[in-house]
A and B are shown apart, each in its own frame.
Chain A
Amino acid sequence: MSPGNPELVNALVQVLGSENVLTALEDILPYGFDGTATFKQRPVAVVFAHDAAQVSAVIKLARTHRAPVVTRGSGTGLSGGSVPVPGAVVLCLVKMDRILEVDPANLTLRAEAGAITQKIFDAADATGLFYPPDPGSMKISTIGGNVAENSGGLRGLKYGVTRDYVMGLEVVLADGSICWLGSKCVKDVAGYNLRDLFIGSEGTLGVVTQVLLKLLPKPAARQTLLATYARMDSAAETVSAIIAAKIIPCTLEFLDRKTIQCVEDFAKVGLPRDAEAILLIETDGHPAAVADEAAKIEELCRAHGATSVRRAATAAEAAQLATARRSAFSALARLRPTTILEDVTVPRSELAGMIREVEAIATRHQLNIATFGHFGDGNLHPTILTDERDTAEMHRVELAFADIVQATLARGGTITGEHGVGLAKKPFLKSQLGDASYELLRLVKRSLDPDGLLNPGKIFDQS
Chain B
Amino acid sequence: MKTLAEMDYSVLQQCMHCGICLPTCPTYLETKEERNSPRGRIALMRAVADEELDITKAFGDEMYYCLGCLACTTACPAGVNYAELFETARADVEKKGVLASPKRDAIRWFALRLIFTRPRLLRAMGRMLWLWQASGAQMAFRKLKLTRLLPANLRQLEPQAPTVLAKFSHQLIKPVEKPASVKRRVAVLTGCVQDLVFADVNRATVDVLLANGCEVHTPPVQPCCGSLHAHNGDTDTAGELARRQLDLFDPFVFDAIISNAGGCGSHLRHYDHLLAEDPVYAARAAEWSRKLKDISEYLVEIGFRKPTGAATASTEVTYHESCHLCHGQKVSKQPREILNAIPGVKLSECAEATMCCGSAGIYNITQPETSGWLQERKLGHLRATGAEVVATANPGCHLQIANGFAQSGEKTTVVHPVVLLAQAYRNETGAAR
Contact = CB atoms under 8 A, between A and B. Distances in A.
A331 B19 CA distance: 13
A398 interface: no
A333 B44 contact: no
A94 B32 contact: yes
B37 A30 contact: yes
Interface stretch (A21-29, A433-441, A451-459): A21-29
A139 B23 contact: yes
Interface stretch (A31-39, A60-68, A153-161, A272-280): A31-39
A210 interface: no
A229 B20 CA distance: 29
B16 interface: yes
Interface string A69-107: 000001110000000000000000011000000000000
- Find the residue from B13, B34, B40 having the highest chain A CB count within 10 A: B34
Contacts of A25: 53, 56, 58
B337 interface: no
Given A35-B19, A330-B78, A334-B79, A26 B59 contact: yes
A30 B40 contact: yes
B79 A265 contact: yes
A379 interface: no
A329 B18 contact: yes
Contacts of A265: 79
Contacts of A33: 17, 43
Given A26-B56, A330-B76, A339 B16 contact: yes
Contacts of B18: 35, 76, 137, 329-330, 333
A140 interface: yes
A26 B43 CA distance: 9
A177 interface: no
B378 interface: no
A24 B59 CA distance: 11
Given A27-B35, A30-B37, A330 B59 contact: no
A337 interface: yes
Given A75-B34, A330-B16, A140 B78 contact: no
A344 B35 CA distance: 33
Contacts of A406: none
Interface residues of A, number: 42
A382 B14 CA distance: 19
Nearest to A116: B23
Contact of B34 (A31, A262, A329, A338): A31
Contact of B77 (A22, A31, A32, A330): A330
A463 B9 CA distance: 39
A29 B43 contact: yes
A180 interface: no
A388 B16 CA distance: 12
B20 A24 contact: no
B286 to A, nearest CB: 23
Contacts of A331: 77-78
B19 A75 contact: yes
B77 A266 contact: yes
Contacts of B9: 389
Nearest to A114: B32
Interface string A1-43: 0000000000000000000001011110111111101000000
Contacts of B53: 25-26, 29
A368 interface: no
Nearest to A388: B13
A26 B58 contact: yes
Nearest to A35: B18
Interface string A248-286: 000000000000001101110000000000000000000
B6 interface: no
Contacts of B76: 330
Contacts of A339: 16, 78
A140 B22 contact: yes
A27 B77 CA distance: 26
Given A26-B44, A26-B56, A27-B35, A137 B78 contact: no
B47 interface: yes
A54 interface: no
- Find the residue from B18, B41, B58 having the highest chain A CB count within 10 A: B18
A30 B10 contact: no
A320 interface: no
Contacts of B77: 262-263, 266-267, 327-331, 333-334
B110 to A, nearest CB: 29
B222 to A, nearest CB: 35
A116 B20 CA distance: 13
A29 B79 contact: no
A34 B17 contact: yes
A32 B10 CA distance: 20
B41 to A, nearest CB: 8
A255 B5 CA distance: 37
Given A29-B53, A330-B78, A140 B23 contact: yes
A339 B80 CA distance: 14
A21 B20 CA distance: 25
Interface string B41-85: 101100100001100101100100000000000001111000000
Contact of A29 (B14, B19, B20, B47): B47
Contacts of A116: 23
Interface string A421-445: 0000000000000000000000000
Contacts of B44: 26, 29-30
Contacts of B19: 35, 74-76, 137, 140
Contacts of B59: 26
Contact of B43 (A30, A76, A266, A329): A30
B231 interface: no
B39 interface: yes
B37 A29 contact: no
A27 B33 contact: yes
B289 to A, nearest CB: 21
Contact of B39 (A27, A30, A95, A333): A30
A389 B19 CA distance: 22
- Find the residue from A27, A263, A330 having the highest chain B CB count within 10 A: A330
A437 B152 CA distance: 68
Contacts of A35: 16-19
A266 B79 contact: yes
A95 B32 CA distance: 7
A27 B305 CA distance: 54
Contact of B33 (A22, A37, A137, A262): A22
A30 B34 CA distance: 6
Interface in A143-163: none
Contacts of B16: 35, 37, 330, 333, 338-339
B54 to A, nearest CB: 9
A26 B79 contact: no
A403 B37 CA distance: 37
8 contacts: A35-B17, A74-B22, A76-B19, A118-B23, A137-B20, A330-B76, A333-B14, A333-B16
Given A26-B53, A30-B35, A266-B77, 6 more contacts: A26-B58, A48-B32, A74-B19, A140-B20, A328-B77, A337-B13
Interface of B: 9-10, 13-14, 16-20, 22-23, 32-35, 37, 39-41, 43-44, 47, 52-53, 56, 58-59, 62, 76-79
Closest 10 CB pairs of A and B: A30-B40, A333-B78, A30-B34, A330-B77, A327-B77, A337-B13, A331-B77, A26-B58, A30-B43, A330-B18
